[in-house]
Amino acid sequence: MPVPQQLFQHTFPNGLTLLGEQMEHVRSASMNLMIPAGYAYEPADKLGLCGIFADVLTRGAGEYDSKQLAAAFDNLGADHSESAGTFNVVFSAGTLARNLPSVLRLYADVVLRPWLPDDEVEPARDISLQELKGLDDSPPDLCFLELKRRFYPDPYSRNQYGTAETLMAVTPADVKKFHADRFHPNGAILSVAGNIAWEPLKELVGSVFADWKGKASDVTPGAVPPTGYTHIPKDTNQTQITLAYPTAPFRSPDYYLARAAVNVLDGGMSSRLFTEVREKRGLCYAVSASHDQVKEKAAVVCYAGTETARAQQTLEVIVQVLRGLRDGVTDEELDRVKAGLKTSLIMQQESTSARAGAMAAEWFHLGRVRPLDEVQAAIDGTTPAKLMDFLDRYPAHGFTVVTLGAEPLTVPE
């Protein structure tokens, strides 16, 4: 029999929201802390600051220096990470359930009492500069970054790597100011999943984050860039093709119809893109489609990497496949898509880290955590007729296309 889902939620007076899911059948627990301090909030002349900040953040906190802090996490057996995204700096950790309180106390030190030592900014900058330089050796990443810049409004479209000029402009004072300006509890989300007891967890979080106060300002997105075609010249024998067009975002009632449509395109070796582009015609070594989004705007994003001589035909066939969705989806395709979505849902139920991450994401986008039976009902309720109605409202058109290679291509009308 399925294990009943036990969801909890509490928002503290300082604005921090705590989410919990009790999973009594496991011995572990995972946490995910999202703080609205991503690179969308960087000063325009200091792009890349957030990456440097996230690196320096764990180089000493509370009573621990950098090595002592790393050892403290290791001694608890915590598999942890810290990262910066478009909107949030994210701290995540998984450990034995009995060690979770100690892990939370360590992260309270990192969030409230980081050292942010001046002499660690230069090494962190060097790492960021190396990552930026490494993009030259990754044409697909360069193509995707330009596609994002041309599809989403600023500052959601920013390049998280920054530029050499903006990285060099970051100072230790900037790092400290970013912490003071952005690290506030209002809008922060702490989600925990695993073998937890809710009331003791709520009391602990309220205690260790009691001194955390303040509210950070939000950002207003600018104008949406116009659709169109951009080519990045590069002397290479291969051409990278990226393409995006609008679809339903996570918060939309049509989200799972959007996911179903994407999974018809790219859901294994029997998917349409793989079959038509690679298997039947042998046009490329890699082809894919995915659902991508920033808050209220979402895209179907397609990618292909191919030989320059086959690039034009590859783009034409991809567009043909995308538009062909409106001609109908078979029952067999829809059954395959539903099975894949349900498998992902079941696997998420069995992983504490996946559940902690999913709960935080749902609260960020929706302001609530959807019960799993609600998600399953949305998947089960997907029919060919509903999918056709969705595709009439979100057709494959208005493409934003970015290519990288020796020769530009022509986007089909």
Place 1 in a pLDDT band, splitting at 50, 70 and 90.
Answer: very low
Which pLDDT score is estimated for 25? 87
DSSP class of residue 361? H
Mean pLDDT of the region 246-267 = 94
pLDDT over 60 at 62, yes or no: yes
Q: What average pLDDT is seen over the chain?
A: 94
Query: Hey, what amino acid is at 368?
Result: R
d(C-alpha 117, C-alpha 60), whole Å: 8
Please give the CATH superfamily to which domain 6-208 belongs: Metalloenzyme, LuxS/M16 peptidase-like (3.30.830.10)
Helix H segments across 325-371? 331-349, 352-366
Predicted TM-score (pTM) of this structure: 0.93
| pLDDT score recorded for residue 4 | 59
Lowest mean pLDDT among 6-15, 189-198, 266-275: 266-275
Task: Tell me if domain 6-208 and domain 228-405 are identical in fold.
Answer: yes
Segment 400-404 mean pLDDT: 98
Closest residue by Cα to residue 139 from 24, 30, 235, 29: 235
Given this model, what pLDDT does residue 225 score? Answer: 85
- Give the mean pLDDT of 109-119: 97
Interacting residues of 153 by C-beta distance below 8 A, sequence separation 6+: 221, 222, 223, 224, 225, 297
Residue 104 or residue 370, greater confidence: 104
Mean pLDDT calculated for residue range 275-282: 94
What pLDDT is attached to residue 270?
A: 83
Query: Can you read off the two tokens belonging to residue 6?
Result: 């036990």
Segment 137-173, tens digit of pLDDT: 999 999 999 999 999 999 999 989 999 999 999 999 9
Among the ranges given (75-84, 206-215, 278-287, 347-356), the one the predictor scored with the smallest mean pLDDT: 347-356
For residue 2, is pLDDT > 60?
A: no
What pLDDT, on a 0 to 100 scale, did the predictor assign at position 285? 83
Quote the pLDDT of residue 115.
Answer: 98
CA 63 to CA 375: how far, in whole Å?
A: 44
The band of 3, judged by pLDDT with boundaries at 50, 70 and 90, is low
State the pLDDT at residue 348. Answer: 75
Residue 412 phi/psi, 5-degree rounding, is -60, 145
Q: In this prediction, what percent of the chain has a pLDDT beyond 90?
A: 86
Interval 115-124 mean pLDDT? 98
pLDDT for 195 equals 96
- Predicted confidence (pLDDT) per residue in 30-49, tens digit: 999 999 999 999 999 999 99
Coil, helix or strand for 405?
strand
Tokens read off for 198: 């809710």
Q: 6: how many CB neighbours lie within 10 A of its CB?
A: 12
Tokens encoding 355: 């559940």
Which CATH architecture best describes the domain 228-405?
2-Layer Sandwich (3.30)
pLDDT one-digit tens code per residue, 336-391: 999 988 888 777 777 999 999 999 999 999 999 998 888 999 999 999 999 999 99
Of residues 6 and 75, which shows the higher confidence score? 75
Q: Is the peptide bond before 155 cis (omega within 30 degrees of 0)?
A: yes
Q: What angle do CA 355, 289, 93 make, to 5 degrees?
A: 25
| DSSP per-residue string spanning 97-115 | GGGHHHHHHHHHHHHHSB-
Give the domain ranges of the chain: 6-208, 228-405
| Residues counted in the chain | 413
Distance CA 197, CA 407 (A): 60
The Cα 31–Cα 210 span in angstroms is 18
